[in-house]
Structure 1
Amino acid sequence: MTEILKAGKAGIRKAAAALKRGGVVAFPTETVYGLGADGLDPVACARIFEIKGRPHFDPLILHECSAARAKKLFSSVPPAAERLMKKFWPGPLTLVLPKAKAVPDIVTAGLGTVAVRVPAGRHALALIKAAGRPVAAPSANRFGALSPTTAAHVKTQLDGGPDIILDGGKTRIGVESTIITFARGVPVLLRPGGLPLEEIEAVAGPVSAPSRRAAGPAAPGCLKKHYAPQVKLRLITPGAAVRPSASAAYLAFTGRPAGKWAAVKVLSPSGDLREAAAGLFGALHALERSGARVIYAEKVPQHGLGRAIMDRLRRASA
C-alpha cells in the first residue's frame, strides 16, 4: 500500500530516506508530479519502469538541486547550454548532453546522452537536497496515460506502486519541461514544454527542429502516442461544426460550446495560454471520468505555452 504524506518537512524527510534505501517516491514539481528513484542506482531505477509499465527504450530525466551538481552528470557542456542553465535553472528546462560515466545506462536507454534539469518547485528541491543524490523521475502515471498534476491523479493510476506519494497540492505550470539538446553547438528542440521557445531563443539563438531519422526517442515524452486519456480524443478547430452529444465531452480553449454534452471544460475564458497549460491535464482527467466515449479538444494558438499544449493534444489524439 502506498503511503500518502503531506510535502512538509517530516514528509520530505521520510521520502528522502526511502530514496536512499532504493525506494520509489512520487513527488510534486512545478510542472507535473514525478515518479522518483535514486538516479545512480540501476535497481531502483528499474522499479520506475516496472511501476509505470514503461519500455526501457524510453530514457529518464535526472533531477538535481543546483546547476553545479547537475553539471557533474554531463561529460561536456557547450557555451549555449551554460547560458541556458544560468538563465533558466531552477526551472522547467531539461538539457540533453553527453553523459558522465557515473550515469547508469538504464537512465539513458543506452544512449551516450543524459537528460537533466533543476526543478523550481520547492518541494522537489527540498527532496533532492535531502536525498543527497540525483533523482531519476518521469511523470508519475501509467506509461502513455494522462500526466498527473495532483497527488490524487497519481493515486488513481499508481496506488500500490510507489512507496510514498508526497502531496504538495496542484502543480503550477501543468505541462512537462521543455527539452533541448545540441547538434554541433546549435540548440535543438526535442519537446516543447513549460518554458516557451521564444524565451530560449532570446538566450541561445535560433532553435532547430529535431531530425526525424532517429531510431528511438532521444528524450522522454517524444513518442508519437503519449499523454492520452482512456477514451478517444479528437482535435478540432474552434468554431468547427460538431454535433453536441450526451456521449461526448468537450475541451474548449476560451468559450463554452452550445448544446448538451457529457461534460465541458474551458481552459481559459480570457485566452491566457499559461492558465490553459496549468489546467490542461486536470481538465482532461475530469473529462476522462465523465463517461464520455470521445473528447473533442479545441486547438489553441501555437505560440508561447500554446506549443506545449498542442504537442500534448496531438500526441493524445494520435
Structure 2
Amino acid sequence: MDVIDYRVGREVAIAKAKEVIARGDLVVLPTDTVYGLGADPFSPGAVDRLLTAKGRGRDKPSPVLVGSVADAAKLAEVIPDAARALMEEFWPGALTIVLPAKPTIGWDLGETNGTVALRMPDDEFTLSLLGSAGPLAVSSANLTAAHPAANVDQAKEQLGEKVALYVDGGQCGGGEPSTIVIVGEKLKIVRHGAIPDSEIARFGELED
C-alpha cells in the first residue's frame, strides 16, 4: 500500500496511478464530491476486486468516470438530446447519467442491465488521469453502507491494504455524492445528491 500526494508531484502521481491501474490493482483518488475507489473497467478481475473491497455485490455495479463528453460517446450506445444538455450544463460536476451501453465494449461491471453510469468529475488531478489512462470504474472509497471518505485517512481506515495506491489531494470539497439520473423518455432520479432535483427538472419531465 502506497500513499502519494499529487500536490507534491502531479506527473509522478499520474504515472504511478496508471501503473497500478494497468496491472489490475485498485487506486483511491480525489474527486469533486468524495474520494473514489478506481479500477480498470475493462479488467473483470479489477472490477471484481473493487466490488469485493467495498463489500458490494454485482447487483450494484460501479459507475464509470470519463474525461470528456467525447469519451462518454465512445461508451454509450446513444446520447439523447436531454442527456447531452445535462452534460453541457453540469459536466464536469456532480451528475452521473445512466445510458444504454454499447454492446461491443466487452466489459463486465456487474449487473448493469445493458447500461452504463457515466460522470465527468470536476477535479483537476482526476481529469488529468482520465485523459491519460482513459475511463475508470470508480465508486466511493468506503465500505458499503459506511460514510463516504472525504479525505485519504478516512479511505485508508475503511479499505486499508485492499488498495495498492492512495492519491492524496487533501480534503474533498463536495462531501455529498453525485446525483444519478436515468435518461429515457423521462428523467428518473435514482439517487438524490449534490445537484437538486429542481435543477434536473429544467431539462425534461421527471418520472415519479
The answer, yes or no, to whether TM exceeds 0.5 is yes
Instruction: State the structure with more CA Rg.
Output: 1
Residue in 2 aligned with 1:88? 90
Q: Is the 8 A contact 1:187 1:208 kept in 2?
A: yes
Residue in 2 aligned with 1:29? 31
Paired with 1:104 and 1:59, the residues of 2 have a C-alpha distance of 15
TM-score scaled by structure 2? 0.93
Q: CA deviation at 1:44?
A: 1.1
Paired with 2:4 and 2:30, the residues of 1 have a C-alpha distance of 12
Gaps of 5+ in 1: 210-318
1:200-225 deviation digits (Å, cap 9, x = unpaired) = 222x133223xxxxxxxxxxxxxxxx
Secondary structure class of the residue paired with 2:109: helix
Residue in 1 aligned with 2:77? 75
Residue in 1 aligned with 2:190? 190
Q: Is the 8 A contact 1:73 1:102 kept in 2?
A: no
Residue in 1 aligned with 2:177? 176
Residue in 2 aligned with 1:208? 207
Gaps of 5+ in 2: none
Q: CA deviation at 1:110?
A: 4.2
1:136-171 deviation digits (Å, cap 9, x = unpaired) = 011111111111010010011111011100001111
* Count of matched residue pairs: 205
Secondary structure class of the residue paired with 1:137: strand
Secondary structure class of the residue paired with 2:189: strand
Q: Is the 8 A contact 1:23 1:37 kept in 2?
A: yes
Distance 1:53 1:187, change over 3 A: same
Q: Which amino acid aligns with 2:11?
A: K
Q: CA deviation at 1:32?
A: 0.6
Q: Which amino acid aligns with 1:193?
A: G
Q: How does 1:88-237 map to 2 (within 5 A)?
A: 88-104=90-106, 106-131=108-133, 133-183=134-184, 185-202=185-202, 204-209=203-208
Q: Which amino acid aligns with 1:145?
A: A
Q: Is the 8 A contact 2:43 2:107 kept in 1?
A: no
Paired with 1:171 and 1:116, the residues of 2 have a C-alpha distance of 20
Using CA pairs below 8 Å that are at least 6 residues apart, which structure has the higher relative contact order? 2
Q: Which runs of 4+ in 1 moved over 3 A?
A: 102-106
Q: CA deviation at 1:104?
A: 4.9
Q: CA deviation at 1:179?
A: 0.4
Question: Identity of aligned pairs, percent?
Answer: 36
Secondary structure class of the residue paired with 2:166: strand
